[in-house]
Structure 1
Amino acid sequence: MARILLAEDEDSLRVLVARALMQDGHEVVQNCDGAAALDTLSRDQGRYDLLLTDIRMPIMDGIALALAAGRDYPALPILLMTGYADQRERASGLEMLIHDVITKPFTLATICGAVREALAAPKKLH
């Protein structure tokens, strides 16, 4: 179905989300932090249908990753995930850049639904 770049520093959650998305028919490329995800995105020349990233990660957080991805690949839909209210507030000014912020903890049905919705949404014009 879709090619998804997943950035999440919590190993068990990253594997769980990737598995659920793959069972939903998607190809998932996993990274453990924003810097690695940005390297992957650049190496693959932005050829992804969606960027799904945690906000709070070491090295480069999801906000910085979203800003860089949005600058370099403006048509790439971006979904953020966070378990922290203050991190969700940091994303509040990025409505033109991101599709949505998913609050942790979430069910696998919720994250798969959010991904389907983001993939089906009209592309944002920056």
Structure 2
Amino acid sequence: MARILVAEDDDNVRQFVVRALELKGHEVVFAEDGGLAAEAMAEHDGDFELLLSDIKMPVMDGIALALSVGAAYPEITILLMTGFADQRERAHGLEALIYDVIPKPFSLQMLMDKVDDALAGRPAEIVSLAKQAMNGG
């Protein structure tokens, strides 16, 4: 399984995400904000397969964290989460850096599917089109 760094300032969401990933067998390191996540990334010398980060956080937001991690560790897949449409729009210019953005609230199944797809390196837009086709959309 993968080593994942989770950056999320909401305690309930962070606990839900960390527990779900650990139950799936992943090794998870977590941080309460982007600044602490950047420190954890450096402390572990980028030894993660995936960064899963909220966009809107204090200290350093998920976009700044993604830019920092992407520059220092380009091999790490970055998946963002947000409950704010305007924050989701901010990530759209970063397709080359960010795998995808998960809208909140999300289900356990949606979270696991996105993480699995990101770790497998399946292109987000192709996965999305395939799921639409399977669902008759």
Same fold (TM over 0.5): yes
Q: How much does 1:109 deviate?
A: 1.1
Q: Quick check: which one's helix share is greater?
A: 2
- Map Cα deviations across residues 16-57 of structure 1 (whole Å, 9 max, x no partner): 110001111101101000000000000100000100000000
Aligned length: 123
What is the SS of the residue equivalent to 2:65? helix
Q: How much does 1:92 deviate?
A: 0.4
Match of 1:83 in 2: 83
Matched, 1:72 2:72: yes
Structure 2 residue ranges without an equivalent (≥5): 124-137
Please identify the structure whose Cα radius of gyration is greater: 2
Q: How much does 1:122 deviate?
A: 6.2
Match of 1:118 in 2: 118
Match of 1:49 in 2: 49
Structure 1 residue ranges without an equivalent (≥5): none
Question: 2: CA distance between counterparts of 1:16 and 1:91?
Answer: 23
Q: CA RMSD in A?
A: 1.1
Provide runs of 4+ in structure 1 moved above 4 Å.
none
With normalisation by structure 1, the TM-score equals: 0.95
The one-letter amino acid paired with 1:78 is I
Compare relative contact order (CA 8 Å, sep 6+) and give the higher one, 1 or 2.
1
The one-letter amino acid paired with 2:9 is D
How many percent identity over aligned positions? Answer: 57
**1:1-126 matched pairs, under 5 angstroms:** 1-121=1-121
